Amino acid sequence: MANARYSDLQLDALRELANIGSGTAGTALSSLLGCPIELSVPSASALELADAVEAAGEAGDVVWGVVVPVTGHVDATALLVIPEADAATICTMLGVDPDTDTGRSALGEIGNIMVSSYVGALATMTGFELDLRPPQSTRDMRGAVVSSVLASHSGEHELALVLDSELEVAGEACTLSFMLLPTPAGVAELLHRIGLGD
Amino acid sequence: MTDLSTATATDVVVRMGELAASASAGDVLVCVGLGSCIGLALVCRRGGACGLAHIVLPESGGRTADRPAKFAEHAVPALIAALGPHGARPGCLDAILVGGAQMFSSSTGMEIGARNEEAVRAALVRAGIPVTATATAGSVGRTVRVHVATGTVTVREAGSKEVGLR
């Protein structure tokens, strides 16, 4: 079974952490763009690599991916995925051109601000010390972006824990997908800290 | 007259860690959106059989994986073995490598792509299979398609046209 490694209770707790994290990230994005952000209920699932890529959406579609490595008590990678057209919408709202260096760094900065807020909320709740490395953004096929991040994390593990949140910019057909991919050791740390360790 | 090989073409999507071998003329083996992963195509020079593996990591470190093509060292022998029943012997196979890119700079510790290519090449040398074409490295994602009917291998980068490799 795909979820065999984590109990439902553990996944519920991780989902709740993701909920609080993405709520904070949504608030940050909202003040950045000057408009309301709608949040979906996040999902927390332990997936096989191939399933995790599939769950992220159509692999051949071109997206903007912003990656922020998280280190400290928990090692993780935060990945923000924005479909190409939606990234263009966000850049227009910010008054920059997505195909320029300025546009690229604006998207990186959005990733950075969202990840800082998300991770900051997580750190406050768990008492962890967490550091962010500089964001990197790329425009490419969704499958190439997501699979490369997963591959760098997986090592001997067959399953990846994916905390996935969808954020929608109100009034614009514009959706951002935010994923936190902790290393398996990081997940164990997180669960231990909230009293649900094995 | 209708070209049946096109009219009945079926995409067989090969996902991370999976492999597929086929001698059905209507099959097109596909890895969509390869980043640091390698799409390894093995094509029989005498026609008929083709295989494609979606390789994720270079070394297993002695571990076993649920998926036959997750690690390069397992994937090459597994793909050769899968081609056997279709009449393709190792001596008649050509290898085409696609992927192995570095999507993000090395400060994130993601230089897996280059190590993947190295490991796949080493495993191919051990199996005595020549590499006849590549579209690897760089920092772009790629989709590879292997047309079983013709043994043609094509690659496409994001926002570009499909290019023939073999």
Tens-place pLDDT, residues A89-111: 999 889 998 888 898 888 888 88
Cα separation of B1 and B59, whole Å?
A: 49
- What does the pLDDT look like over A9-29, one tens digit per residue? 999 998 998 899 999 999 999
Pick the residue from chain A with its C-alpha nearest to B34.
A144
What is the pLDDT, as a whole number, of residue A74?
Answer: 87
The answer, yes or no, to whether residue B109 has pLDDT greater than 70, is: no
Q: How many CB pairs under 8 A join A and B?
A: 113
Q: In this complex, is the C-beta atom of A49 within 8 Å of any C-beta atom belonging to chain B?
A: yes
Cα separation of B5 and B26, whole Å?
A: 5
Task: Report CB contact under 8 Å: A67, B104.
Answer: yes
Class of B4-164 per CATH? alpha beta
Examine residue A198 and state whether it is found in any structural domain, yes or no: no
List chain B residues with CB under 8 Å of A87. none
Both tokens of A100, joined, read: 């320029």
Q: ipTM for the complex?
A: 0.88
Of A150, A152, A158, the CB nearest to B66: A158
Q: In this complex, is the C-beta atom of A77 within 8 Å of any C-beta atom belonging to chain B?
A: yes
Delimit the domains of chain B by residue range. 4-164
Domain tally, chain A: 1
What is the pLDDT, as a whole number, of residue B11?
Answer: 94
C-beta separation of B54 from B100 below 8 A? no
Pick from A117, A112, A119: nearest CA to A186: A119
Looking at every residue in chain B, the average pLDDT score rounds to 91
Both tokens of A65, joined, read: 């991916």
Cα separation of A172 and A21, whole Å?
A: 23
List chain B residues with CB under 8 Å of A150. 16
Q: In this complex, is the C-beta atom of B108 within 8 Å of any C-beta atom belonging to chain A?
A: yes
Cα separation of B136 and A104, whole Å?
A: 25
Examine residue A1 and state whether it is found in any structural domain, yes or no: no
List chain A residues with CB under 8 Å of B144. none
What is the pLDDT, as a whole number, of residue A193?
Answer: 85
- What does the pLDDT look like over B6-35, one tens digit per residue? 446 799 999 999 999 999 999 999 999 999
Q: Which of A140, A153, A157, A158 to mutate to test the interface with B (most CBs of B within 10 A)?
A: A140
Residue B37 among the catalytic residues: yes
* Most confidently modeled range among A163-167, B107-111, B145-149: B145-149
Examine residue A176 and state whether it is found in any structural domain, yes or no: yes
List the catalytic residue out of B31, B37, B44, B50. B37
Task: Report CB contact under 8 Å: A49, B16.
Answer: yes
Whichever domain contains A107, its CATH number is 3.40.1550.10
How deeply is A119 buried, as exposed, middle or buried, from its count of CB atoms within 10 A (0-12, 13-18, 19+)? buried
Task: Write phi, then psi, for A157 (nearest 5 degrees).
Answer: -85, 140
Task: Report CB contact under 8 Å: A143, B33.
Answer: yes
Radius of gyration of chain A (CA): 16
Describe the crossing of helices B112-127 and A142-154 by its angle, rounded to 10 degrees: 80
> How long a stretch of residues is chain B?
166
CA B118 from chain centre, in angstroms, equals 14
What is the pLDDT, as a whole number, of residue B147?
Answer: 96
Domain around A91: 8-193
Task: Write phi, then psi, for B63 (nearest 5 degrees).
Answer: -85, 155
